[in-house]
Structure 1
């Protein structure tokens, strides 16, 4: 399935689509996962995450399992049947790599003797394939070096707590860098409202006619929100979204996803009257000007946020509940070695400054040897057990006719 330019654009869409359905833009699928993830996160401090780092790894897992339960759970997380996901993931990452200032990479490391299936590896697309030596110091150094190199130092270490008994590591690295079309002006002032009121803040301000066109308001699931799109010099913009004073962080982030998907309708400044009230942080008025064009003025704070996520803490969200439990589920990855997901984590960071924006993330899935799944007793049954530990007879019988071919008696054990 090809990923056309139209599919790479932002559109609405959700739900698992059948193989016979019309193609769904891969962007919609990744964004839908990102929105669901955001609603499940805690926001006691700053947060940053990327579903783009997770989605291709889930697609790879889907390509490596024949277990019906695992396939169904991964399909629900991906939004498409697992058969469709690998091609979408490959082409989506290829398109991201073409965006100026962006990078996307996959890494795979396998233990000696694992026997990774060539057909599965091929479905990953471009990937750096290395070896796990079993030496935790050497392996940790190799994994950290890859993370550091692929993110340009933004994420210097692989977010794995332990390599003990790990037989396979699959990771993605994502970077986003852009400079603003026009640099912000730095200054300091006292916050006027909310939890920052009364504090002296390091503020950034930008003005201009183009900025006015990037202001919008919308009625969203959390109520009224104000959005400003800060344009990068390349192909990446940063959307800032402000909700009402009582709106929770997760709900405001969800509203941002609604704006991007088109589920919430943007209203530009031309659609608002002077003095329009109720839009968070926004004042619209007519003023005297020496220039003949409308102008926008954005004042915000710069920020640097970092976060670490244990994906197995919400395994159901990512389709990993069964795959991370007791059992063996990935014979499509290695027919010789039973595997299960033992860890899935992400480290991410983002910085918004007067000059531009940069962010990065490394997401990793680790696998250990799997085994037969423990299933709790469900039924009351009869059990028969026989012990032939004294002399006994034997008969070799032709099954179809009942003809006894040989008969005998065992008087002593052994050969």
Structure 2
């Protein structure tokens, strides 16, 4: 069975599947589409073990990864509902390879300065949905690279706000805000494999939202939903009466006028997540790149560079009229092979006025000589001899 997806899309989806498989019990959201191009660009510039790990994580040959990452961003940006951006900021004094700079989109390489500039970049390129850059720039940071993604659509058929009070399932007894709509003949409901219900909520433009329900939990539903995009799992659309799947009931009823229809009820949602990507470094191919004892990105600069931070801020919001999502993903680099700076106490004394002095016998405390200096010497002072006093005054013969 051939894949209907391009190599870049299939590889990015695979990263999303692996990442979503790590979800715990709490609300969560990730953007593999925001992270994958950044990892691809890093893979193209990396060397040694870091290059191999990053290429494995993105699922693209390292030689092709840089171009593939930028191509995915360009392809997404062609949609009227999706906007993407990439940015690189360099500390003055760090020389990047001219060929790498020229390979980046025009105007995307700038000077690394105040944190406020990066925060403004995140807001501007997500239409205000992500308010802060996901990383704090430190004195050790010499390079930062980030991608931004924002997607917005309105539903072809909006929902009506209704109370959400499910009568069955784990949420039974809950009462809160909800959304409901009834549509005719839209073929929006499918069964994936044997046990996942999928509902496609159609947007007015070029992207939709797939709702995935599994008795084994959201992670299983997400895996099935991603597999369905690549025709890697059976998809049964318009399931017949009597079909069994989570949260799904299909029955035949008498109605005036006839015609098939779909009823959908769910709660609205807003999910925000902040991810420290270094906490799952192996998943993203970052383990070697984070080793600060040596450099890993010869394609970027002659200066040895290592990652010292990687993070993503991401938002998804689903309401009665539409859906919006945004993500900013960033990595920071520091000069490798150098010891980290540590706090030290340096005490300095510069005598700039007349002073006294004592020569004290340590054992007895006897002051051997005492004096003062009222003017610093103008001529060279004869150096003190290193010969001990005992050697100069030997003991008398017995």
- Normalising to structure 2: TM-score of the pair? 0.81
Aligned-pair CA distance for 1:372? 7.2
> In the alignment, is residue 46 of structure 1 matched against residue 13 of structure 2?
no
Aligned-pair CA distance for 1:157? 0.3
> In the alignment, is residue 124 of structure 1 matched against residue 124 of structure 2?
no
- Unaligned residue ranges in structure 1 (runs of 5+): 1-6, 12-23, 134-138, 374-415
Aligned equivalents of 2:4, 2:151: Cα separation in 1: 18
Aligned equivalents of 1:348, 1:149: Cα separation in 2: 15
Aligned-pair CA distance for 1:301? 1.1
- Work out which of the residue numbers 237, 255, 259 in structure 2 matches 1:268: 237
Q: How does 1:8-407 map to 2 (within 5 A)?
A: 10-11=4-5, 25-41=7-23, 43-65=24-46, 67-126=47-106, 128-133=108-113, 139-211=114-186, 213-219=187-193, 224-244=195-215, 247-269=216-238, 271-272=239-240, 274-277=241-244, 279-326=245-292, 327-335=294-302, 337-371=303-337
Contact 1:10 1:27 in 2 (8 A): no
Aligned equivalents of 1:124, 1:82: Cα separation in 2: 17
Q: How has the CA–CA distance of structure 1 residues 292 and 197 changed in structure 2, closer, same or farther, with 3 Å as cutoff?
A: closer
Q: How has the CA–CA distance of structure 1 residues 10 and 34 changed in structure 2, closer, same or farther, with 3 Å as cutoff?
A: farther
Aligned-pair CA distance for 1:292? 3.9
Aligned equivalents of 1:355, 1:179: Cα separation in 2: 6
Contact 1:275 1:284 in 2 (8 A): yes
Aligned-pair CA distance for 1:316? 1.1
Q: How has the CA–CA distance of structure 1 residues 126 and 259 changed in structure 2, closer, same or farther, with 3 Å as cutoff?
A: farther
Aligned equivalents of 2:115, 2:109: Cα separation in 1: 15
Aligned equivalents of 1:30, 1:283: Cα separation in 2: 34
For 1:281-308, what per-residue CA distance to the aligned partner results, in whole angstroms no more than 9, with x for missing partners? 1111112223342111111111000001
Aligned equivalents of 1:56, 1:210: Cα separation in 2: 38
Q: Who wins on radius of gyration, i.e. which is larger?
A: 2
Contact 1:109 1:132 in 2 (8 A): yes
Contact 1:328 1:372 in 2 (8 A): no
For 1:259-297, what per-residue CA distance to the aligned partner results, in whole angstroms no more than 9, with x for missing partners? 22222211012x42x2223x1111111122233421111
Q: How has the CA–CA distance of structure 1 residues 48 and 127 changed in structure 2, closer, same or farther, with 3 Å as cutoff?
A: farther
Aligned equivalents of 1:265, 1:126: Cα separation in 2: 44
Aligned equivalents of 2:71, 2:38: Cα separation in 1: 14
Aligned equivalents of 1:82, 1:92: Cα separation in 2: 15
Contact 2:178 2:268 in 1 (8 A): yes
Contact 1:229 1:237 in 2 (8 A): yes
Give the secondary structure class of the aligned counterpart of 1:169.
strand
